[in-house]
Amino acid sequence: MRTTILLCLLMVLYVAVNAQRDVYGMVRNQEGEALYGAIVGLQENVSVAASTAIDGSFKLHIPDNKAYTIKIIYYGYKQLVYKLQEDQSGKLDFTLEEDIYNLEQVVVTGTRTPKLLKDVPIVTKVISREDIVLQDAADIRDVLQTELPGVEFTYSMNQQVALNMSGFGGSSVLFLVDGERLAGETLDNIDYSRLSMDNVDRVEVVKGAASSLYGSNAVGGVVNIITNEPKEPWTLNLNAHYGSHNEQRYSGTLGLNGFGFTNLLSARYASCDPIALKNDGDYSEIYGYRSININDRFTYSYRNRFKITGKVGYFFRERDSQETSHDRYRDFSGSLKGEFTISTQDDITVAYNFDQYDKSSFALLDHLDVRNYSNVQNSLRAVYNHTFGKKHILTVGGDYLRDYLMSYQFEGDSAHHQHTADAFAQFDWNPLKQLNIIGGLRYDYYSDANLHHISPKLSAMYKWKDFSFRASYAAGFRAPTLKEMYMSFDMANVFMIYGNPDLQPEKSHNFGLSAEWGTRHYNITVMGFYNRVANRITTAWNSALNGMKYVNMAPLQIAGVDVSASANWDFGLCAKLSYVYTYEHIALGEPLLSSTRPHTATARLSYGKRWKNYQFNIALTGRWLSKVTCDEYTSLTDYTETEKVTYPGYTIWKLMLTQKIYKGLNLNCSIDNLFNYIPDYYYGNSPATTGTTFLVGVALDIERFFKK
């Protein structure tokens, strides 16, 4: 009897051992180069996965003899799917095809869950790492203005930077870093110089309301900056730039990857002398500055079961705003996020984020640094995803935010704070292979405004041959800020600005309709959009107070058409042209004064080639903005009378040459404002150009010198 039992156990063990099998091989690109860090795994069992070694090799341990689907994912390349037959084992080599249009790029902003760009029912613009390098962009302003028509950064009072994105200002466009909000603002805009591009993997832009996922401020769109995660065992990049007006940038990035850990440390120092302008204007000089930006991101992951991500950052900027004092800006940030895969159908993400943005005035005579502004945000988030039938995804989650603000714009430099909480749900439904429908709902609560708000959305995409059709509706809202509710500020001894605790939230209804056609070499997208915005918050003259007061205005309408076309040919030539027409209608007598340019366009023509150890790419980029006629107040003391003012259109072109000379040696040089455009008069919303400028840079990828 014992012998029989032993034989049975041995037979079971034999069958179990023989049911296991190994699949191994290499992952390369079309040029035969090994792709390190590519993810190779089973679609049906996420616990069976591996990343390729430095030579492109991988090995999978398959637990049984069933048929499976192997999926290979690598950034910048199209995903590859391979059907593994029953009992199949042994060597399998894969070659990945470059993803020219980033359609195989996994994006997260439009849906909060990872989804291929080509499958997102919401039009999402992706600015890749290659695009950023090709521009040699200093910060997010360079990236957005070059890549997206309808985007203009201008100067407002005291040379503070203001955004206009197709009719929506800085308070209506939500900027995120890895999905997290940013503290601090000046004249309704965040400090864009904080957002350098040294550690950025890509930028995702969603135009239109997105409050059902992101809450307040996402009335006109979302810009999500996704930071990089090292894929090589180690990388070290050192670079330096020098340009006109003594502009200098020095930065370094160190990346480490091994044993489940990654770490990316980046540091930058930048400075520029004051720039004297050539003609008369509202200002005669651009302030000089110095800035420091340090960021560190580390991760630990274990067998695709869980992943821990932590980030810390420090930012400092000083502006030479006056002869006796300088403006100083500081930011301290930190976050911790855990992503846990419970099963093949369930995962959960929990995150904490801290961000503190301070301003101070530094007196040069006595070296006294007086802090007069501090915005501190502490936030918690939890998101849960459940997959039904391997293709339908339910997402539920919630956020809590404590917002603290001490400001010189409050009476007696006092402070206020409020608590906000929300809950949201989204269902990603895929009834057909060609059809995807996403519906969502979000509830928000703001303590100080005693505000309750619900934001719905509905998006759909249908694919037919080489075409993709998208339609969407989304509600947006923006809660009144602490500044808008409690301000009591003397504006340069000219008038007072008063807050209004009774403000209503801004509400918008956004409709979008688009069609996209794409092949291997060509891509065309046409999108129409319409926004109706009620209760927009602005300031208006109050005769009883003899000053300005925050108020809600009558509904306004913003509509337009966004068209983009691109072509890429195998011999290295690429072309891209984008155009946006924006129509903004504001009722007569309303206090808001708009300067949205109706016609804007961007263009890029590039050519690149490689011979053994030498590679170059030359790119000509340009942006054109039409003239605009708008109303302006006639006096600094009378805010009831206006007059028509026409701001001229302009075109700015930039020529950029990037070269990889030998292994890790890279040389860059650019000529900006190629055709020497200089405004006849410097308005706040005209480019502060003084003519053609030059910039040269050298970069060293140290690790490449050690590769064979």
For the cut 50, the answer to whether the pLDDT of residue 435 exceeds it is yes
Q: Is residue 423 part of a domain?
A: yes
Q: Is residue 22 part of a domain?
A: yes
pLDDT at 670: 95
For the cut 80, the answer to whether the pLDDT of residue 638 exceeds it is no
Q: Please name the residue that has the structure tokens 């339910």.
A: 394
Same domain, 43 and 134: no
pLDDT in tens, 559-589: 999 999 999 988 889 999 999 999 999 887 7
pLDDT at 640: 64
Same domain, 81 and 125: no
Q: Contact, 61 vs 41, CB < 8 A? A: no
pLDDT at 87: 80
Same domain, 579 and 655: yes
Mean pLDDT of 144-151: 93
pLDDT in tens, 238-264: 999 999 999 999 999 999 998 889 999
For the cut 90, the answer to whether the pLDDT of residue 19 exceeds it is no
Question: Which residues, 6 or more positions from 552, have their beta carbon under 8 angstroms from its beta carbon?
Answer: 503, 504, 506, 535, 536, 537
pLDDT at 424: 96
Q: Is residue 186 part of a domain?
A: yes
Pick 701 or 645 by higher pLDDT: 701
Distance between CA atoms of residues 67 and 49, nearest Å: 16
pLDDT at 16: 44
Q: Last residue of some domain: 37, 70, 96? A: 96
Pick 707 or 191 by higher pLDDT: 191
Same domain, 27 and 164: no
For the cut 50, the answer to whether the pLDDT of residue 10 exceeds it is no
Same domain, 44 and 159: no
Same domain, 576 and 692: yes
CATH number at residue 278: 2.40.170.20
> DSSP string spanning 313-340?
EEEEEEE--SSSEEEEEEEEEEEEEEEE
| Average pLDDT score, the chain | 90
Q: What is the distance between the terminal CA atoms of the chain, rounded to a whole angstrom? A: 63
φ, ψ at 13 (rounded to 5°): -65, -40
Distance between CA atoms of residues 311 and 321, nearest Å: 32
For the cut 50, the answer to whether the pLDDT of residue 15 exceeds it is no
Q: Determine which of 12-16, 206-210, 274-278, 321-325 has the lowest per-residue pLDDT on average.
A: 12-16
The structure's pTM equals 0.89
Same domain, 169 and 57: no
Q: Last residue of some domain: 96, 127, 151? A: 96
Compute CA distances 604 → 74, 150, 292, 620, 672, whole Å.
26, 16, 31, 6, 14
Type and span of the H or E element at 486: helix 482-486
Mean pLDDT of 388-398: 92
Mean pLDDT of 359-375: 95
Mean pLDDT of 521-529: 95
Distance between CA atoms of residues 145 and 142, nearest Å: 6
Question: Which residues, 6 or more positions from 493, have their beta carbon under 8 angstroms from its beta carbon?
Answer: none
Q: Is residue 227 part of a domain?
A: yes
3-state helix, strand, coil in the chain (%, to 5): 10, 60, 30
Q: Determine which of 8-22, 42-56, 192-206, 673-687 has the lowest per-residue pLDDT on average.
A: 8-22
Task: Quote the domain boundaries for residue 365.
Answer: 106-706
Pick 59 or 651 by higher pLDDT: 651
Same domain, 336 and 260: yes
pLDDT in tens, 58-107: 888 888 888 888 888 776 677 788 888 888 888 888 988 777 666 677 88
For the cut 50, the answer to whether the pLDDT of residue 516 exceeds it is yes
pLDDT at 487: 95
**Torsional sign, CA 366, 158, 270, 678:** negative
Same domain, 77 and 153: no
**Torsional sign, CA 489, 495, 498, 504:** negative
Q: Last residue of some domain: 61, 96, 131? A: 96
CATH number at residue 74: 2.60.40.10
Q: Is residue 101 part of a domain?
A: no
Q: Is residue 11 part of a domain?
A: no
Distance between CA atoms of residues 15 and 643, nearest Å: 88
Distance between CA atoms of residues 234 and 702, nearest Å: 10
pLDDT at 251: 96
Same domain, 76 and 142: no
pLDDT in tens, 664-682: 899 999 999 999 999 999 9
Q: Read off the pLDDT band of 619 (50, 70, 90).
A: very high
**In percent, how much of the chain has pLDDT > 70?**
95
pLDDT at 107: 87
Same domain, 163 and 65: no
In 215-286, which ranges are continuous DSSP H helix? none
Q: Read off the pLDDT band of 462 (50, 70, 90).
A: very high
Same domain, 436 and 464: yes
Mean pLDDT of 353-378: 96
pLDDT at 327: 97
Q: Please name the residue that has the structure tokens 């694919």.
A: 463
Number of folded domains that form the chain: 2
Q: Is residue 574 part of a domain?
A: yes
Q: Is residue 402 part of a domain?
A: yes
pLDDT in tens, 468-479: 999 999 999 899
pLDDT at 9: 46
